[in-house]
Amino acid sequence: MNAPSVQLNDIALFVEVAKRRSFTLAAQHLSIPTSTLSRRILALEDAVGMRLLNRNTRRLDLTEAGAVYLERCQFLIEEARLAHEPLLALSRQPHGLLQVAMPQSLGALILPNALGAFIAQYPDLDCAFDLSMRSPATRDGGFDVMIHFGQLPEVVEGDVRELVSLDQHLYASQAYLDRYGTPRTPDDLSHHQCLRSTAGQEHSTWTLAGADDQRIDVPVTGRIAANSVSMGSVLAGLGLGITRLPQCRAMLPALTQNSLHRVLPEWRVAPVSIYAICPSPLLPAKTRAFLSFIEPLLAPLQPGELERARERTQAAAQPHTQESTSARG
């Protein structure tokens, strides 16, 4: 029969009791019930096969074995504490090198407008971004977090958590709508230039959902395909077609700068999910800080948020327009 194993936590409890010569005082210091503390010390004595404490109604003393054990264990617990403190610092204060993998299209949305504020907030943190179209199924390690856009493969290594699920809407420029007309029904899309993610046949069908959850699959065509959300918004802004865009706050600059208009506003495209994939569910501070920083950027747009952003952009541009007019005068 195997002997009970000795737990390091129980040794630490014994050291606290032995130093104070009191279960009550030690329990108060440790913020645990006295009964729990007494039970753990009994388990420790059972594990080592010796009585470590002499208990009576008036005082608590160490046995001879307990005195020897305390002398050795105090050093052990102090060493464990010294080893633990750097890890606590690592978990509490972001520092070191943060390695992030994410699709180029998502990185182009988030990083230019937000990265400066992030590194200013964490001066002890260096960042390295891999913006290749790497699949989570072929992840070769070396990353603190991988951000994945869209459907996950069947097999993914690491801890996977969904950050957000975003509706997608259809957008086009006024120049495009003036030239080709405004779609009135989902079926009208088959007669328009649609900016798809790739030229493959599997990306030539858009699934739309109506207000009553009615769903319809629409075959679409177009002369241009680009596997980049940010590039799709730029191309649509240039009047080259209709594009699908996720409804998150990171999209606001692209939507306002490219002056895009919602197409088929009563319909939405099937939602797309964004995931974080980490080597372990236990996240170091630098990873937690990055995820906390990007999650508000990935939050869904609230009703009226795009309109308010456009009003702010127009208001900011008005002084420049007035200055230009005055200069010409």
Reported as a single tens digit per residue, the pLDDT across 99-136 is 999 888 888 888 888 899 999 999 999 999 998 766 66
**Domains present along the chain, CATH in parentheses:** 8-92 (1.10.10.10), 96-315 (3.40.190.290)
Greatest mean pLDDT among 88-97, 108-117, 185-194 lies in: 185-194
Looking only at the bridges linking them, the beta strands covering 60-62 and 53-55 are antiparallel
Compute the distance between CA of residue 131 and CA of residue 148 in angstroms, rounded to an integer: 11
Give the per-residue pLDDT at 251.
Answer: 85
For residue 179, is pLDDT > 90? yes
Compute the distance between CA of residue 32 and CA of residue 18 in angstroms, rounded to an integer: 16
Task: Give the single-character DSSP code of 132.
Answer: S
36 conformational bin, left if phi > 0, alpha if psi -120 to 50, beta if neither: alpha
Percent of the chain's residues with pLDDT above 90:
30
Question: Which ranges of 210-251 does DSSP label H, i.e. alpha helix?
Answer: 229-237
The pTM (predicted TM-score) of the whole model is: 0.64
The angle subtended at Cα 147 by Cα 144 and Cα 153, nearest 5°, is: 110
Give the per-residue pLDDT at 170.
Answer: 95
Q: What angle do helix axes 285-294 and 104-121 make, rounded to 10 degrees?
A: 110
Report phi then psi at 256, rounded to 5: -80, -45
Inter-CA distances, 21 with 8, 66, 120, 138, Å: 20, 12, 50, 58
Of the pLDDT bands very low, low, confident and very high (cuts 50, 70, 90), residue 243 is very high
